[in-house]
Structure 1
């Protein structure tokens, strides 16, 4: 699988491997004790080779940790191609805008500008889940 099994891994690699193992568990390929044992192995893994041993007897499925384990895999997260998360951009703008309005206006009740912050939070969260979150839920069913 991995050309260089002695390459050290990071937390992101362990999280991807745990996600892949959870997928195999949810599809009924592993029992609870097997899942627990393999999860502990993943949590303590320090190299790609240690991660690879966890998945030796499991089929390679799209989206599992086996695909990113290959040498030359892109470290860019899967959400990079989906565009900008506007909620993460708008919320700080609303916070700083509220502060600016509070300090720069002569409005008698300028404290009301701070109500924009929770209002923006409600409006932005009412937009629902992002496409990636919906895909993850659908895939895990």
Structure 2
């Protein structure tokens, strides 16, 4: 097999270093950021389309960085925050806490499910009379986990809604990115 010189051994120290490649998660994050800049009025429709197309085909970090070079850093919060901004920050903190609890709840539910599966296996394939206790342990783990984490039924409903809406948003972003890639590929074929 012949390997292109482009993929030969790394450059010597002091020489030019190869650009580190990026993946789809990096491209999607860049498109999300661009969407935020568009929503906040920093980009018009044409600029947004042009930059998201560039993000969809970017191959390395400098290509993505160039898309944001002339945009302000919106990660820092102004010292002149309004009460609405403070409320939003509080709500975001509360949401972040709920999401972290939700991740822990997934682990608890996964363990409860695993215990249930093992219990079923023990009941079917062994003659252990007390294997049914595994079901009680699984239920206790699921209920106890919710109590320890402080997750109410309302919290769980919110987590389910957030998960569903995030799945829909992700699917829509992927459809949009796929559409843009097809458009770009079609332009390249013409």
CA distance in 1, matches of 2:116, 2:105: 16
Contact 1:5–1:48 (Cα < 8 Å) also in 2: no
Aligned positions of 1:61-80 closer than 5 A: 61-62=74-75
- Partner SS state of residue 6, structure 1: coil
CA distance in 2, matches of 1:84, 1:93: 14
CA–CA separation in structure 2 for the residues paired with 1:126 and 1:49: 41
Q: 1:33 aligns with which of 46, 53, 58?
A: 46
Structure 2 residue 22 is the aligned partner of structure 1 residue 13: no
2:103 to 85, 91, 99: 85
Superposed displacement of residue 20, structure 1: 1.3
Asked whether the 8 Å contact 1:87–1:124 carries over to 2, the reply is no
User: Where does residue 101 of structure 1 map in the other structure?
Assistant: 119
**Residues in 2 aligned to 1:96 and 1:124: alpha-carbon distance in whole angstroms:** 25
Mind listing any 5+ residue stretches in structure 2 that lack a counterpart?
Answer: 1-16, 77-96, 144-152, 164-190
Q: Deviations over 1:112-141 (max 9, x none)?
A: x6xx7xx98xx6972634xxx9xxxxxxxx
Structure 2 match to 1:128: 158
Say whether residues 1:56 and 2:69 are aligned partners.
yes
Residue deviations 1:43-88 (CA, integer Å, cap 9, x gap):
100122211221122112218xxxxxxxxxxxxxxx9xx6892122
SS at match of 1:85: helix
Size of the alignment, in residue pairs? 101
Larger Rg: 2
CA distance in 1 between counterparts of 2:118 and 2:154 reads 21
In 2: Cα distance, 1:9 partner to 1:104 partner = 46
Give the structure, 1 or 2, with the largest relative contact order (CA under 8 Å, sep 6 or more).
1
The alpha-carbon deviation at position 91 of structure 1 amounts to 2.0
Aligned-residue RMSD, C-alpha: 3.9
Q: 1:14 to 1:36 in 2, by over 3 A?
A: same
Stretches of structure 1 lacking an aligned partner (at least 5 in a row): 64-78, 134-141
